[in-house]
Chains A and B, each alone.
Chain A
Amino acid sequence: ELSKTSRLFAFLLMLLEWTKPGLSNPLRPICDLRVLKHFIEEARDAEAAMLACKEGRGLAEPVTVPQTKVDFNVWERKTALEQAQEVQSGLWLLNQAIGSLRTSVTNTALHSHIDNSLRNIFSIGQVLRSLNIQEYTPPAGGVAGGEETWRVSSASELLQVHVNFLRGKVHLLLSNAPICHQGSS
């Protein structure tokens, strides 16, 4: 029942976005972490499916992916803005990488997983927007490098990065969004 509600929830979210394009009407903050938990589970399923599939898993060329590691001492020293930027840029990179994976993977069963992952990344973006977290604007010139990136060449690695990124930095950012803790002491 949880997945159904989350799906419905995400669908409604997207519907809202559709019906009100470009409006700066602030969305109600989505503080419930069950949405993210659902996305994480789906990303895990995609990774498992990719590992199970023997052929048609290779990437055409290496893609840039964000760093997933979190050192709490380091993380806590960062400002909210820095954290937000880190998360948003990482999501953008993943979006790009998984998008390119879509074209190179031939297995149709994997296609559904990949499409699902892309939809989820988009939904997370909406959730972040509802929490008033600043959006990322990619630098001009295409691919962005930086400390917090590295390159992967296999699809399973890519999907693993996807899972770890969601579990780590995205989860941390959402669970500590200041707008969700305004009511509590």
Chain B
Amino acid sequence: KKMTNDNLNKLLVFCVLFCAQKTSIVHGAQALETKVALLLHAEPENPKCFAEGMSDLTCFWEEDEERAGSADQYSFIYTYQNENSSECSITALPAAGGKRLYFCRLSQTQLFVPLDIRVFRDDLLIHNRSLFIEAVFLLDPPANLTLTSTGMQGQLKASWLPPSLKYMGDSMMYEVSYAMAGSHIGKVEEVQASSELILRGLQSGTKYKVRIRVKLDGISYSGYWSAWTDPVLMETMPGDLDPLIVSLSLIISLVLTLLSLLVLMSHRRFLLKKIWPIIPTPESKFQGLFKVYGGDFQEWLGHSTGGLWLRPTYFYSEEFPVPLEVLSEVSLGPALPSSALPPKASEALGEEEDEDKKLKRVDPALMEGWRKTPQEHWTMDQLRAIHQHPAPWTQSSLLESHDAYVTLNAQNHSVEEPLDDILEETLPLQVLFASGRTSSESRSDLGSVQQSSGSGRLSSQSSFEYPNHTWPSKGPGYTYMAVADSGVSMDYSPMSSNKIDDIGKGVIYTNEYKNEIPAHRRPIGTPIHFAF
């Protein structure tokens, strides 16, 4: 039993060794294959020889299978300088592509001295070569190629184990080839007598494949480039934001912010109004109502009797659009039906053929009424009807007021007078009516009056012509219209268009009343009176 155990143990050990050797043999065979292939490509002379270590030499040559002889037909004779010749034993191995390889391996060599090689086949010299063994080194590729990160952008550190050859460490030259994974275009970097290299200028966040090969530098020792190592893959550090781009974008955003702030500051009032509109409070109208009496209206009323009567009027005059008021003279003719006035006015207007006619700032209700009745003359009845519009003013008070007013003359004599075109929109209320056959024309201080060349016409006068408020009594043909203007511009939608086509035959232009009245012409808030 013991013997079988021992035998088994021996067998086991033998198997292990054999297997290990087999793998190493396989490895060695593979390495040899690659080297043979390399030299067949790189070396033109025959026999091709290479040294792998400090004291070995392998030589081989190739022959076609058909013409190849057996190994013993060949003889390999080598001679060192100043020495006698020696012979090397030849082994034959089959190769791919119908070829045969003949090998000779020397295990003891002399360097730095010329070596003469001669190959004979059946005493016939087939190959002749003289070489230095230290000049035909073909090393194994470097082992343990590893890639590590250097901690910096776009860099990788490649490190490897140099071939373990004594005395030759300083003479080794490495070539590192690196390319992006998947790409065939790569770069190559050479380094001497080192065991690591930092690859720079790589793209961030990309996978790179790196491989390396070794050769002796050619001063004391030289040889062929080794085979490439298997490629090693490694990804570079992920990209950081380009500092230049970051700083530029920061600067631009800063500049934009400053600009927008400037714009905002310059328009802050306007924006504040839009965003946070001021809620109108009636505090200013009710002096002390909120502050003193805390909103108690009853109390406040009780304490402020004097101002009560004034307030509504004040209130009215500020808030309500005031319509035109017509004042009629006592000595006027028969009363007019209210409905008759507007059509007459429209007819009168319709009679106007002049294209320069303008209609400014008339109460829309009034205007509308005027459109309807196509009567020839202004009648007193119509005017009186208008006068029935409730108003606290008396005729005398109006006439004596300091307000500006415009008079409209209705006259029957025809006087041709040139007219100026009224196109300025800054002119205040100028209402032109054509009627009858009036021809007189009074020029208003506020601007000229348009008149038709027709017979009947109205003329207007401004109160400025009568600075002392001496209202001229022009006879029974006059009617007065008082207009109080609150100073607020209003948009009468029917009047908003510049041209009203549906008023009779004539073309009437209307203009929107604008607030920008020259101060000297008409004080804001004062009523305007139209007088006939």
Contact = CB atoms under 8 A, between A and B. Distances in A.
B83 to A, nearest CB: 8
A176 interface: yes
Given A33-B170, A73-B108, A40 B219 contact: yes
B112 A73 contact: no
A169 B113 CA distance: 11
A64 to B, nearest CB: 13
A69 B220 contact: no
Contact of B55 (A73, A168, A172, A175): A73
B109 A37 contact: no
A11 interface: no
A171 B113 CA distance: 14
Contact of A71 (B55, B81, B166, B220): B55
Contacts of A171: 220
A115 interface: no
Interface in A130-185: 150, 164-165, 167-169, 171-172, 175-176
Nearest to A176: B167
Contacts of A164: 112-113, 132
A95 interface: no
Nearest to B113: A69
A40 B219 CA distance: 7
A113 B506 CA distance: 123
Contact of B112 (A33, A37, A167): A167
B82 A168 contact: no
A69 B110 CA distance: 6
B471 to A, nearest CB: 115
A73 B55 CA distance: 8
A41 interface: yes
A150 B110 contact: no
Contacts of B113: 67-70, 164
A33 B132 CA distance: 22
Nearest to A163: B112
B110 A167 contact: no
Contact of B80 (A41, A69, A165, A168): A69
A72 B170 contact: no
Nearest to B193: A33
A32 to B, nearest CB: 10
B115 to A, nearest CB: 10
B interface, how many residues as a size bin? 10 to 19
Nearest to A164: B112
B192 to A, nearest CB: 11
A72 B220 contact: no
B112 A69 contact: yes
Contacts of B112: 68-70, 164-165, 167-169
A172 B167 contact: yes
Q: Which of B108, B110, B170 has the most CB of A within 10 A?
A: B110
Contact of B219 (A37, A68, A70): A37
Contacts of B80: 69
Contact of B111 (A33, A40, A72, A150): A72
A70 B110 contact: yes
B351 interface: no
Contacts of B140: none
B108 A167 contact: no
A136 to B, nearest CB: 20
A40 B55 CA distance: 23
B134 to A, nearest CB: 7
B40 interface: no
A148 to B, nearest CB: 11
B167 A167 contact: no
Q: Which of A40, A67, A167 has the most CB of B within 10 A?
A: A167
Given A150-B82, A167-B219, A168-B220, A71 B110 contact: yes
A71 B112 CA distance: 9
Interface string B162-182: 000011001000000000000
B57 to A, nearest CB: 12
Interface in B37-89: 54-55, 80-82
Contacts of B82: 67, 150
Nearest to B54: A72
A165 to B, nearest CB: 8
Nearest to B112: A168
A68 B113 CA distance: 6
Given A69-B113, A73-B55, A41 B108 contact: no
B451 to A, nearest CB: 108
Interface string B243-257: 000000000000000
Interface string A62-88: 000001111111000000000000000
Q: Which of A150, A175, A176 has the most CB of B within 10 A?
A: A175
A70 B111 contact: yes
A67 B134 CA distance: 16
B111 A175 contact: no
A172 B221 CA distance: 11
A112 B220 CA distance: 24
A134 to B, nearest CB: 21
Contacts of B108: 71, 73
Contacts of B81: 69
A175 B82 CA distance: 27
A71 B111 CA distance: 6
Given A72-B54, A72-B55, A40 B110 contact: no
Nearest to A41: B219
A71 B109 contact: yes
B107 to A, nearest CB: 10
B474 to A, nearest CB: 118
A167 B55 contact: no
23 contacts: A33-B170, A37-B219, A40-B220, A67-B82, A67-B113, A69-B80, A69-B113, A70-B111, A70-B112, A71-B55, A71-B108, A71-B109, A71-B111, A72-B55, A150-B82, A164-B112, A167-B112, A167-B134, A168-B112, A168-B134, A169-B112, A171-B220, A176-B167
Closest 9 CB pairs of A and B: A168-B112, A69-B113, A69-B110, A72-B54, A37-B219, A167-B220, A164-B112, A68-B112, A171-B220
Interface of A: 33, 37, 40-41, 67-73, 150, 164-165, 167-169, 171-172, 175-176
Given A68-B112, A69-B80, A70-B111, 14 more contacts: A40-B219, A67-B82, A69-B81, A69-B110, A70-B110, A71-B111, A72-B55, A73-B108, A150-B82, A165-B112, A168-B111, A168-B134, A171-B220, A175-B167
Interface of B: 54-55, 80-82, 108-113, 132, 134, 166-167, 170, 219-220
